[in-house]
Structures are given as structure tokens and as C-alpha cells.
Amino acid sequence: MFVDPKKTVKITIYVREVPDGRVLVRRHLAGLTDLQKNSFQSVTFELRLLNWRQKNDVYRESRTKDPVTMNDVLDWESFKQNHLIHLLASWDIKDEKGNPVPLTPDNITNLPAAIPEMVLSIYDEPEVE
């Protein structure tokens, strides 16, 4: 019933760069030929489970002042970024030379946008077995 601070969720996605430089991200490779499957690289992310306080901290860190009304409002882009930064415990991303890429806020925010969007989508809406 309560969040176990030691428990994490592993999410694996499949990524490949297309010729124009964009990144194609898939949750599954089902339905692809072996040749197509081999063009993807698997990337695994380990995410923490946030408790109520931690999630509220993410909301708090993501607030900004509306320039017109001067009211506090949620900055959706900041929320998504802060949420992922708080969730990520590890990843297995490697650079071009095969060296592990450190998990840092800068490296997280430098990911192609499709990757964090997919990871957050899977985390927020897990498949039910």
C-alpha cells in the first residue's frame, strides 16, 4: 500500500536514428521483420516510484508566475522535465564509443524529445498483464 523507496520500475524502449537525424522510438518491436528489428537499439531506464510528497515536490518545482495575472501556474514543460529527473534512477545509454553516459540533469534534457515522452507515457500508463 505504501511506496517502497527501494523499489524501481524498468522500462525498455527501442530507438533508432532515421536518415534525416530524427529519432524513431518504439515500445515494442512486434510485427517488424528481423532486419527492421536489428536496426533498433534497446535502451533500459530504471525509474523510482514517487510517494505523495515527492510528487508534490515535482509540482512545486514546476510552478511559475503567469506574466499577466501574476498567479502561480503549472509550467507543463518544466513539470515533465522535473518529473523525469526525479524518476530516473539509472539508464544504460552508451555513447558512440560504447562508454556509459552519466545520468545527469543535463544529459536527461539533451535526449531527443521522443525518448522522454515515450518513457513518461509508459510509466504513467503501464500495460496490464
Supply the pLDDT for residue 77. 92
Instruction: Answer whether 49's CB lies under 8 Å from 9's CB.
Output: yes
In this structure, what C-alpha cell is assigned to residue 128? 496490464
Which residue positions in the chain have pLDDT lower than 70? 128-129
Supply the pLDDT for residue 112. 94
Instruction: Answer whether 78's CB lies under 8 Å from 64's CB.
Output: yes
In single-letter form, the type of residue at position 31 comes to G
Supply the pLDDT for residue 127. 72
C-alpha dist (Å) from residue 38 to 10, 15, 29: 22, 11, 10
